[in-house]
């Protein structure tokens, strides 16, 4: 994976880094179970601050695409489809909680639909 960023792009650098990793996963350049380069190495290659890369990686972790484990590094955890489903699940859970439903009730509803 050889990500690149465009300093003339109006998007924040961390979003560009995240987009490059998403693209690599979507195109099969980075597969589930594979390890990511260290954040400091990725930052050096891209010419950005390590914190910029870490922000992108944490966003991808929140999307379900990466798994970050202390002492074990960062691995590709899923596919873009899994990440998209996870985003919708989070939206559903937030919506259900806002409307007074608890975790058990949400699970019961999902099981009833399945």
Q: Do residues 70 and 86 both lie within one domain?
A: no
Task: For residue range 17-48, list pLDDT tens digits in order.
Answer: 999 888 888 888 888 889 998 899 989 988 89
What pLDDT score was predicted for residue 3? 58
Domain hosting 87: range is 82-113
Q: Helices 80-98 and 103-113, interaxial angle, to 10°?
A: 120
Q: How many domains does the chain fold into? A: 2
What pLDDT score was predicted for residue 22? 87
Q: How far apart are CA 84 and CA 17, in angstroms?
A: 18
Q: What is the CATH number of the domain that holds 48?
A: 1.10.10.10
Q: Which helix (H) or strand (E) holds 67?
A: strand 66-69
Intervals of the chain under pLDDT 50: none
Q: Do residues 51 and 99 both lie within one domain?
A: no
């Amino acid at each position: 994976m050889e990500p690149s960023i465009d300093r003339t792009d109006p998007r924040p650098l961390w979003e560009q880094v995240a987009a490059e990793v998403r693209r690599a996963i979507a195109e099969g350049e980075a597969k589930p179970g594979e390890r990511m380069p260290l954040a400091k190495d990725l930052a050096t290659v891209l010419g950005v601050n390590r914190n910029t890369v870490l922000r992108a990686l944490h966003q991808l972790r929140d999307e379900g695409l990466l798994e970050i484990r202390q002492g074990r590094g960062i691995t590709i955890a899923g596919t873009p489809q899994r990440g998209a489903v996870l985003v919708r699940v989070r939206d559903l859970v937030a919506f259900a909680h806002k409307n007074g439903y608890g975790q058990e009730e949400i699970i019961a509803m999902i099981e009833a639909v399945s």
